Structure 1
Amino acid sequence: MNRIKWLTIPLLALGLTACASYYPIAVNVNPTPANADAGIYRGQTLALSSADKRSNDFIIQIEQKDKSPVVVGAANNLSLQLEQALAQGFSTQGAFIEQGASTRATLELQEVLSRVIRGHISYDVVQKVRVELVLERDGQRITKQYRRSAQQEFPGRLHPELDKVTDALDRQLGLMVQDILADRDVQSFIHGN
């Protein structure tokens, strides 16, 4: 009996390790907004920064029945990726990004999560993205909240394809950046109105 127990424990540990190691520790996230409307700003300057205020450092949570969730993080700095996408969009719209500008925009990342829930023959992917943009100039301040959510179904019996999950998350983040760029309140504040 002791011999069987001695063999069973390492085999069980090896099996559990193999399941967890199927998924990467982190994936690359690269949000790109759709083309921003050019010429909205006429050389207005803007200082842009970002902060990651999320309670979790992972972006994908894989949930399977009777198993502990597996989490996957972002391989790159997610708040910096969003800041760069936003800077690119503002530049396309005609704004100049300068650190010393009197108009300051701070992007706070509050939630980015794709929950991957296993069904019988497919996986449901539930995405939630939430950020806050704080604009300040000469004692004036406005705060805007942006939220995006989506649900998709991906086929697969054994393991979800994380590249599809990551692409879907990239799309949601890109659409959220687009929401910020198209926001009339943000445009009016940057114009100084």
Structure 2
Amino acid sequence: MENNLPNPQPVQSIDIDELAQTMTKGIRRWEKVIYPMIVGFIILAAYGFYLIYHVTKDMHTITTNMTTMSVAVVKMAESMDNRMASIDTQMGQINQHMKQMTESMASIPKMTASIDGMNRSITQLNQNIYSMAYSTHNISGNLGELNQNISAPMNSINNVIPWAMMSSSNKQSLPQTQQDPAALPIQPNH
């Protein structure tokens, strides 16, 4: 029996060669895509690691700063609490002083009325002193007139009475121990 079929081996070898060439071409195509993808993935993985490392480092720094800030905030809160307590105490004192001032201000109208009365009394006293000064001036003028009115008759009586002459002559005979400074001549200074 003769088989008219062609030899299957050469067909198979051609198919295997074609398959090998096709696979080689496919692998080369995949190599052109996969190798750059692998390199890109490695670069992205390294960059991701770098980012994660820095984010972790930054989070650690933030945590440290938050701890320090928490301590500072606690101290500041305590200080504010103490200051607010001090302000509260001082406000109580201010309220007491304001109450005292209000009470003092309530007595001002009474004091004003008293001061007005004192002012009127002082004005009246001032007017009375002016009146006394005017009366004293009038008395002085009247005494001057009285002196002029009495001196002329008294001089004539003194001339008649003997002891009056004697006293006036004794006054003239007594030596003067002091000189009147107005009677001394004025000498220029050299």
Larger radius of gyration between Structure 1 and Structure 2: 2
Both structures adopt the same fold (TM-score exceeding 0.5): no
Q: Flag the structure with more relative contact order, 1 or 2, with Cα contacts below 8 A and sequence separation at least 6.
A: 1
Compare the two structures and name the one with the higher helix fraction.
2
The bucket for the TM-score relative to the shorter chain is under 0.3
| TM-score, structure 2 normalization | 0.22
